[in-house]
Structure 1
Amino acid sequence: MKKWGIPIAIVAFLLLIFMPTPEGMEPAAQKSIAVFVAALVLWVTTPIPIYLTSLIAILMLPLIGAVEDQKVAFGTLGFDVIWLMVSAFVLTSAMMKSNLGRRFSLWMVTKFGKTPKRTLIVLVVINFVLAFFVPSTTARATLMMPICLILLEVYRAIPGKSPLGKVMMLQGLQADALATSGVMTATAGNIIAVGFINEQAGGDIGYMDWLFASMPASIITMAITFAIGLKLFSIKEEGNFENVMGTLQDELKNLGSFSLAEKKATIIFLLTVFLWATGDYQEGWFGFEISTAQTAVIAALLCLLPKVGMLEWKDANIKWELMIFAAGAYAAGNALDDSGGAVWLISKLVDGLGIDQMSHTMVAVVVIFLSMYSHLIFTSKTVRVTILIPAFIALAKTLGMDPVPLALAAAMTMTYTITLPPHSKVNTIYFSTGYFSVLDQMKYAVVTCFIGASVISLLYFTWFNVLGL
């Protein structure tokens, strides 16, 4: 794919640029489609880093006349969701450097995990709690996996053979993914999806809107699949589990008393969650509202302020390549939407597949299941979001459906990258322990994805109505 990515992208771009403009399509739309398709090929095949592809797209859009004003392309780096992503990386760095995440996880396990089954439940709960504080799936996996390894090593679980080892690691990566689906700021992909929904679909989705819509689906799916996991990989109540607890308690003691950095991180994170949770009430309380992005920037500022925070700028692991990628994705996606290219493409797709003959109910179910299993083709959450969410918004507009709930339901599936080890870094981290095989992961994930899509579909027609979506 890397070998042929660039030639295919160039050929596709030239063919789309120089072909006769189809009836009903504006020239700007044709140019936007050409840039988007070329960028899409490069994003999927990755012959060059994805952020370089975004830079090329940002440069080409005004250069060939796909957008009239270059600010439309170059200005995307100033979107509020970009700042939200920057702040999310700062918060993750603060959690890692302060050791607050490791302390919390060890305390939860030693306090509540008295048996293997209860320990599995606690590990799932920790994953869900950390999703609110650590906006990085990889960072959470990095926090959780060593704790799991300590548990299994003391429990004398044999990698590749121990059912407890299999289910603990597999539920770890699944809990990471499902918890991420429930919290808007838990991954950059969710933030990018909200940006598309609010910009292109005219939505007003905020932190609490996402939480109330998605978290119930995540919890229900996790509860069902947790029970299924115990059936697939039966664990036996045997061995001296108190020895495991003793070792973990020693690990916790080695962290010592709460450090000043941990205290500062705790205060900042509690303030952040409070501001996010009370966004709908702040206007009445204070006479003004602090947005989700503003709250994140305030938190990042507090983490970095001398004497107030616990980070220096060099400690903030901000992934600027992801910022550039997101900016280019927004530029290409918005140009496609503003020029009418997205609507034209979707209308042709609708005509070709006969989707317009389906009921709106069937369309919603098809979209949710397609979105769920799309990770089998596209391994990057951010690339999938960039490709699919604008397409589903355009589809909804074409069919006369409300694009906001449809795109939101589709976005809720984007974090379910759990089927194979290469589908996410989290999968790779857990797979590297050797406790489960590819087949173990695949058979568990196929069931989980089906249940997840079914639950989201059900809530789309019921819970979304209760929420006014």
Structure 2
Amino acid sequence: MDLPTDATPLLSGSVQHGAHPPQPVDGRPKSFRARLKRFLRDPNVLNAAVSILIGFIIAHIPPPEGLTRTAMQLLGVFVSVILTLLCTEITISIVVLNGLLVLILADSFMCTTEDGKVIECRLCDTEDRIGGGTHISYKCDGRQGSLKVALSGFSMPLSFLVLAAFHIGHAVDATGLGRRVSLLLVKYMGGSLLGLGYALTASELLLGPFIPSNTARGGGILMPITMSLAQVLGSTPSENPETGSFLVLCGNHANFIASSMFVTGTVGNPLIVGQAAAVFNLEFGFVRWFVGAVVPGLVVAALIPLILSKFVRTSYNACAVRSLAKQELSRMGPLSSKEIQVLSVLILCLALWVSGSSLDMPEAYVALLGISLLLMMGTISWNEVIENSKAWDSYFWLSGMVLIADQISKLGLARWFGNFCVGFLESAHLSPLTSTISISTIYFLSMLMFSSLTGHIVALVSPLMEAGKQLGCHSRILTACLAYFSSLAGSLTNYSSGSSAIYFGQGFVDRKTWFLVGGGVGLVHLGVYFTVGMFWWTILGWGASA
């Protein structure tokens, strides 16, 4: 069939779904020069070009002592990725994919040789001379090794935990169980939208001591309820998104608050307890951790929903909403068989997450087990799993970010950063209290470099505790700040944790708003813990001994 004479060729340019293609001028298609000019004027293109240029410059800076050329290349690509995410609307998975492709092409990963040595991929098939004139040959394929490392990110347990949590959330939503729970919340706590925000926060705090995975708790249990609440209130990413945005942000930040208040709140917290014992000979177990966190933690738990509600411009008729909730609950009747199936799986997952350490069942395994049971019972179908695009998109970009963050640690960038901070603070001759605040702030902001709360802890807590010891910081106060900020710093980005990735993936909050709100919440955390927290810890006598 012949095309109309004014049809626009498919490859004439990128057109967004639903947008009209560029109209020809005087019946003639636009010239290549005109299309190029329009392309170059696109703010996304300009901002991405600047981000790439900054990363290119960083990658070619001569490495300082303690770093290698590969580490600088990785840092350059990482900075480019972060700046592109901050300054453009380009899809996050596309940005991460291109970052990985550049790193593979530049052999900017750590490879494993045939005899088990771990070296920079660029050194494959080279020789090195050590003492006594002995030559060492590094037998490996740098390009294939880089590709293998890049793909390994997609097999990390955190990635599959996030993927499974999305599918469990879909089951909660599709069966109507999430809607039922949300209607009950509205019925009993829906006096205001702020009240629902506090209900989500309270739910996180109640579950925090028992589920040692913030991703399982936030993404697997509370996110589906949050989404159902948004639906009950008539909020979608395209219609009345403000209500859903408020609930998503409340759920996300409540997840980090709960994780910070209990040593069992997230899997990385016990590592801090171990480091405090090793560096300061300090016991910082469950009771001391909670006692130190309870006052500042409850303050931020009260403040964050209140502050977020000030930015929501939406009407909320409490009487009408509660009346509707009662009617809907009456119409739904008793639990359906599929709701019972999902509820049973959730209870099983909850029980296994609580006792997983004693049963040697990783969180990701439990979540995948839950998906398997839902599939075998026919609660959800395999086609539903395949068609859950939000799940697969989040799985892709989070896997890439976790892999890059892991390589940052392996290439020594995190260790170098910690040592640099030690040298800088020593030269500044700060008081112990000022040094404590400085180290804690540096640690909090450094979360921008990490896509894993545990990775952040592993990389920086030990060197920063050693720095604090050298600078005479109060051991209990510094340990408290590092302990609580390990989770609270996750509020800064949408890639800091699996739970953030899941909440962000619902599409209610755009990337720039997420970062702006995260920065504001981060300032609240720092302000509260450096004032209310310090005052409370002084009352506890934590500043009496260094």
Q: TM-score, normalised by structure 2?
A: 0.57
- RMSD between superposed Cα atoms in Å: 5.5
Matches within 5 A, 1:267-278: 267-278=344-355
Kindly state the Cα deviation for residue 301 of structure 1 after the two structures are TM-superposed: 2.8
Q: Could you say what secondary structure the match of 1:414 adopts?
A: helix
Shift in CA distance, 114/332, structure 1 to aligned 2, threshold 3 Å: closer
Q: Is 1:45 matched up with 2:83?
A: yes
Q: Which structure shows the higher helix fraction?
A: 1
Q: Which amino acid aligns with 2:415?
A: V
Shift in CA distance, 452/440, structure 1 to aligned 2, threshold 3 Å: same
Deviates more, 1:270-279 or 1:345-354: 345-354
Q: Could you say what secondary structure the match of 2:508 adopts?
A: helix
Matches within 5 A, 1:53-452: 53-57=99-103, 59-61=107-109, 62=111, 63-65=121-123, 70=145, 73=149, 75-113=152-190, 121-122=198-199, 124-125=201-202, 132=217, 134-135=219-220, 142-148=227-233, 172=247, 175-182=250-257, 194=268, 216=294, 218-224=297-303, 241-279=318-356, 282=358, 288-304=359-375, 306-307=376-377, 309-312=379-382, 313-316=385-388, 317-318=391-392, 319-337=394-412, 341-354=413-426, 357-358=429-430, 362-370=434-442, 382=451, 390-391=459-460, 393-400=462-469, 408-417=483-492, 425=504, 429=508, 447=524, 450-451=527-528
Q: Could you say what secondary structure the match of 1:346 adopts?
A: helix
Q: How many residues align?
A: 408
Kindly state the Cα deviation for residue 441 of structure 1 after the two structures are TM-superposed: 11
Kindly state the Cα deviation for residue 64 of structure 1 after the two structures are TM-superposed: 1.6
Distance in 2 separating the partners of 1:202 and 1:127: 26
Distance in 2 separating the partners of 1:195 and 1:121: 25
Contact 1:369 1:453 survives alignment (8 Å): no
Kindly state the Cα deviation for residue 334 of structure 1 after the two structures are TM-superposed: 3.0
Q: Which residue of 2 aligns with 1:11?
A: 57
Kindly state the Cα deviation for residue 181 of structure 1 after the two structures are TM-superposed: 0.5
Kindly state the Cα deviation for residue 276 of structure 1 after the two structures are TM-superposed: 1.7
Kindly state the Cα deviation for residue 327 of structure 1 after the two structures are TM-superposed: 4.2
Q: Could you say what secondary structure the match of 1:246 adopts?
A: helix
Distance in 1 separating the partners of 2:276 and 2:519: 38
Q: Could you say what secondary structure the match of 2:365 adopts?
A: helix
Kindly state the Cα deviation for residue 105 of structure 1 after the two structures are TM-superposed: 1.2
Deviates more, 1:45-54 or 1:133-142: 133-142
Kindly state the Cα deviation for residue 314 of structure 1 after the two structures are TM-superposed: 1.3
Deviates more, 1:268-277 or 1:1-10: 1-10
Distance in 2 separating the partners of 1:462 and 1:89: 43
Distance in 2 separating the partners of 1:77 and 1:149: 35
Q: Could you say what secondary structure the match of 1:349 adopts?
A: helix
Kindly state the Cα deviation for residue 95 of structure 1 after the two structures are TM-superposed: 2.6
Give a deviation string over 1:204-236, Cα, whole Å, max 9, x none. Answer: xxxx98xx8698565442135567889x89xxx
Q: Which amino acid aligns with 2:372?
A: L
Q: Which has more radius of gyration?
A: 2
Unaligned stretches of 5+ residues in structure 1: 151-158, 160-164, 234-238, 283-287, 433-438
Q: Could you say what secondary structure the match of 2:342 adopts?
A: helix
Q: Could you say what secondary structure the match of 1:60 adopts?
A: coil
Kindly state the Cα deviation for residue 49 of structure 1 after the two structures are TM-superposed: 1.0
Q: Identity of paired residues, percent?
A: 13
Q: Which amino acid aligns with 1:97?
A: A
Deviates more, 1:92-101 or 1:380-389: 380-389
Contact 1:113 1:119 survives alignment (8 Å): yes
Kindly state the Cα deviation for residue 267 of structure 1 after the two structures are TM-superposed: 1.0
Give a deviation string over 1:275-329, Cα, whole Å, max 9, x none. Answer: 222245x3xxxxx43233332332233233x226534231452333234313422
Distance in 2 separating the partners of 1:353 and 1:367: 8
Q: TM-score, normalised by structure 1?
A: 0.64
Shift in CA distance, 95/244, structure 1 to aligned 2, threshold 3 Å: closer
Q: 1:30 aligns with which of 50, 53, 68?
A: 68
Distance in 1 separating the partners of 2:428 and 2:410: 25
Shift in CA distance, 347/426, structure 1 to aligned 2, threshold 3 Å: same
Distance in 1 separating the partners of 2:440 and 2:338: 43
Distance in 2 separating the partners of 1:344 and 1:115: 49
Q: Which amino acid aligns with 2:360?
A: E
Give a deviation string over 1:328-356, Cα, whole Å, max 9, x none. Answer: 2244223223xxx4333432333234478
Distance in 2 separating the partners of 1:427 and 1:310: 19
Kindly state the Cα deviation for residue 408 of structure 1 after the two structures are TM-superposed: 4.1
Q: Could you say what secondary structure the match of 1:429 adopts?
A: coil
Unaligned stretches of 5+ residues in structure 2: 1-46, 85-89, 112-120, 126-137, 208-213, 278-284, 494-500
